[in-house]
Structures are given as C-alpha cells and as structure tokens.
Amino acid sequence: METLGARPQDVLKLVLRYGLILALSGAAVGVLAGTVSARVLVSLLYEVRPADPLTLIVVSLLLVFTAILASHIPARRAAKSDPMRALRHE
C-alpha cells in the first residue's frame, strides 16, 4: 500500500476497497459452496429450499456489510496516522 503523501480519504478508500474485495470474494465462494452442498443440507433445513435465493442474498449482504464495518475501524485509524511518524517508529 502506498500511503506516503496520500490524503486521508484516499487511504480510507484504499483500505475499504481491499476489505470489500475480500468480503465479496468470500461471499461468492460461500454462495457457491452452499449451493453445491445443498443436497447434504436438505435434511437440516426447515421450510427453506436448499437453494433459496432470498436467503442466500440476505445472508451474503449481511456478511459483506459486517466485513465493511470491520474494515472501517482500521481504515479510519490508518487515515488518521502520520506516515512519517509510522516510518520513524519502524
């Protein structure tokens, strides 16, 4: 990550973008794995079809939203930090 000379909002966008990419790729893999393993899960589901699109979408969006919130805290901290001070510390 190149943050030396970047504005705080640029640093915030950069960290949030990496978090969003990880969250979306994880959600895609999770939806794919859930759909593929639906035959095994049929006996555990109650009044829900194995590949219920509404359930998959809602759960995926909830997890992506949680990941964005979880990456927002370190992004704000990184945006507020002084890069020269961090370099001197290392």
Q: What is the pLDDT along the chain (90 residues), one digit of tens a residue?
A: 455 677 888 888 888 898 899 999 998 998 888 888 877 777 776 776 767 788 888 988 999 999 989 988 888 887 787 767 766 776
Task: Tell me what pLDDT residue 21 has.
Answer: 93
- In angstroms, the CA 31 to CA 37 distance is 10
Rounded Cα distance, 17 and 1, in Å: 12
Residue with tokens 């973008």: 17
